[in-house]
Amino acid sequence: MLLLLLSLLACAPPDTGGDDSTPTGDSGGDDCTFFTDADGDGHGAPDTAAVSPCDAQPVGTAETDDDCDDRNDAVFPGADEVCNGADDDCDGTTDEDAVDGVLSWPDADLDGWGGGDGAVACEVPAGNVTRGGDCDEGDAAVNPDAVDEGCDGIDNDCDGQADGGWRVPEDQPNLQVAVSSAPEGGTVCVAPGTYDGPLDTRGKAITVRGYGGADVTTVRGVGRTRVVSITGGEGPDTVLQGLTISGGIADDGAGVYIVDSSPTLVDVVIADNSCVVTGTTGRCNGTGLYSEGGTPTLRRVTLRGNTQEAAGSFGAGLYVLGGGMVLDDVLIEENSQVDGADRSFLTGAGVYANLATLDLQDVEIRSNTQVYDIETASESGALSGAGLHSESADITGVGVSITDNQQSCPAGHACNMFGAGLYASGVSGGAVSLSDTTIRGNSISATTEASAGGYGAGACVVYASFTLTDSVVEDNHLDVVATSPQAYGGGLVLQHQDTVMDRVSIAGNSISSGDLAYGGGLEMESATLTGTNVVIAGNEGASVRGTISGGGLFARETTLDLTNADVVGNNCTGGTCNGAAFNFYTTVDLVLRSTTMTDNGASGARGGAVYSNFGNVTIDAAWSNFYGNGSSPFYGATTPSAVDGNLFVDPLYTDTSAADAWDWDLTLAPGSPVIDAGDPSVTDVDGTRADIGSEGGPGGS
């Protein structure tokens, strides 16, 4: 004990009579405590304290005792934490904020982007992702990958700008400035309201979207100008959507003017644009929409109430010259043309297509009108295609409706009217192919006593090939009361061309004339019609003081080939009836297979079934049925003989009592004698021998 006391006294500093503190690091003999640092990391192990002179720190020691693993020189306070399951920095936790850990963020909306504060961990926690920056974890449609074109007022792509920053009027009150300033591929979001045109897309791939819809978002013409121009070679990525385009006034394309471009129009209304051009050379083209070259696409578009008044009017609703167009779910209605001078030509009030290709899907063309009301006695006008005029164009359509289009000539010297519903001319080529199509309620009317001509109230097809499948031509009417009329084809006119019909009904059409009427259902000249499962029923010809030639059909220089057809209940009223069903002028070849002709004409008709003007019609009938066609069923033509399976029996239809022929049920009642009596080489859909009539054969019901 004495030795220890003496030792401690020996280490005590001498008394200087002043401040008794000694500066740190003083080498005046002070002792310090050191701790064993076995791993040499500068941190000692606890419970290894040893005292040595401060100026003589022993090798393998450290001044601190905070090392939690003195066997590992990578473990000490302040060391980098790594993913190894150890407490590398001696803070009592393991693998936190490890330098080789993974930074991740919670992804509550499961859109692949996390939001909020990220955290580092050796394993990504469940529900976390390694991409941060989501600005709305409650909406999976909002993240940095999203395209900010929703026009919803939301910053969808988390760039700090709602809708890309090109909102009208929030970001830019002027629509044209917004379109010109927006980037290529951008979207200009247009709020509900009315905005002044004109608008030019200037070759840019851009979307102009009225996000409230066309009912509440209008771009209007100001003064005599077009509303929208697309002429810079734009492609399908140039999009107009959710807009009404109206009030334009221009000779060409008052509403929308497209040249050599192929934009896309979606949910757009083009309405109430106009063209008025005076003088005998005045011309209006495509007042609603004008397209020349290119192939625009119209989807859920309406062209309504566009008007033309000129000596030459072409396409009040839609005009397509060259190139093509795709129309999907499009409505073309109530567009109109009126004469603007003597000898006016009114062409395609709904649609005019010339040397173009049209693809129609679910298109409705209705209630478009052409009126020629000039009162100059020395001049005449021509009206064609109040619904659709095709001139050397190729038209393919599915689900097309051509209804209630009208041509009229209420006063003046003369009018010639062609195809109130559809007019197609193919002098320079062109074909029309329609399926699942309705041609109904179209009309031609000339109330003047001056000379007038009407051709095909439903459709008039000249020189163009025509294919009609699963379609109806019904309730079309041609009424010309002139003293020297040209009245042809209440339903259809087919001239200088070939037609194929499959499962088509031509029913309830009529023609009325002050003098001569030709073909209440259809008129053919220098044409060929090949029809399968065709109905020609309840058509009527009428004359005030002249002759009706063919209540059902009038033909000259024609081949008519019908298989599994029903020619039923066609008739004449007033005047002289020559051929209640068919009237043939000059050479005609009539081929009938598994076809019924029944109940055509009243007893006074000359040729209830067939009338031949010159007795040179050839009837090639086999496995067909002729019954109840008046007292003179075949006039000027040889009656088919009871050979080759021909019958003369009541077919026993299910029901023909309805007032309208298109409502007749021409299926065969049980016990009908024409069941299994058709061509024995042909079978019905049930595999039995073909029935006679439109319900038989492989195309029947």
Give the three-class secondary structure for 590: strand
Angle at 546 (CA atoms; ends 543, 547), nearest 5 degrees: 80
* Whole-number percent of the chain with pLDDT over 90: 64
Distance in angstroms (rounded) separating the CA atoms of residues 534 and 579: 19
Residue 70 to residue 35: CA distance in whole angstroms: 11
- φ/ψ of 495, rounded to 5, equals -135, 135
> What is the Cα–Cα distance from 556 to 572, expressed in whole angstroms?
19
Q: Which residue has the higher pLDDT, 461 or 12?
A: 461
Per-residue pLDDT averaged across 82-104, rounded?
Answer: 87
E strand intervals along 6-62: 31-36, 49-53, 61-62
Distance CA 625, CA 517 (A): 28
Q: What is the pLDDT of residues 19-58, one digit of tens each?
A: 333 333 344 468 899 898 888 888 988 988 888 889 888 9
| pLDDT of 12 | 36
* pLDDT for res 370: 96
Local confidence band at 448 (pLDDT 50, 70, 90 cut-offs): low
Nearest to 273 by CA among 312, 321, 220: 220
Q: Average pLDDT for residues 68-86, to the nearest whole number? A: 88
Lowest mean pLDDT across 95-109, 444-458, 493-507, 523-537? 444-458
User: Can you give 331-378 as a three-state secondary structure string?
Assistant: EEECCEEEECCCCCEEECCCEEEECCEEEEEEEEEECCEEECCCCCCC
Other C-beta atoms lying within 10 Å of the C-beta of residue 232: 14
Give the integer Cα–Cα distance in Å for 386 and 374: 18
Model confidence at 224: pLDDT above 70? yes
User: So what's the pLDDT on residue 23?
Assistant: 38
C-alpha distances in Å from residue 525, one per residue of 244, 344, 492: 45, 27, 11
Q: How many whole angstroms separate alpha carbon 432 and alpha carbon 473?
A: 15
Write the DSSP string, 383-449: EE-SSEEEES-EEEEES-EEES-EEEE-SSSEEEEE-SSEEEE-TT--EEEEES-EEES-EEEE-SS
Rounded CA separation 189/201 (Å) = 14
3-state class (DSSP) for residue 663? helix
Q: How far apart are CA 140 and CA 145, in angstroms?
A: 11
Model pTM score: 0.83
Q: Cβ(44)–Cβ(68) under 8 Å? A: no
Paired residues of 407 in beta bridges = 370, 444
Q: Closest Cα partner for 332 from 297, 378, 365?
A: 365
More confident residue, 519 or 145: 519
Beta strands in 24-79 (DSSP E): 31-36, 49-53, 61-62
The better pLDDT of the pair 340, 457 is held by: 457
Beta partners for residue 303, in sequence order: 270, 332
CA 337 vs. chain centroid, Å, equals: 26
In this predicted model, what pLDDT tens digit does every residue of 271-326 receive, in sequence order? 999 999 988 888 999 999 999 999 999 999 999 999 999 999 999 999 999 999 99
CB atoms within 10 A of CB 195: 20
Section 320-349 average pLDDT: 93
Between the alpha carbon of residue 293 and those of residues 270, 296, 405, the distances in Å are 20, 9, 27
Distance CA 135, CA 148 (A): 13
pLDDT band at 535 (very low <50, low <70, confident <90, very high): very high
What whole-number distance in Å separates Cα of residue 227 and Cα of residue 254? 6
> Residue 285, SS3?
strand
Q: For 200-209, how does the pLDDT look when each residue is reduced to its tens digit (9 = 90+)? A: 999 999 999 9
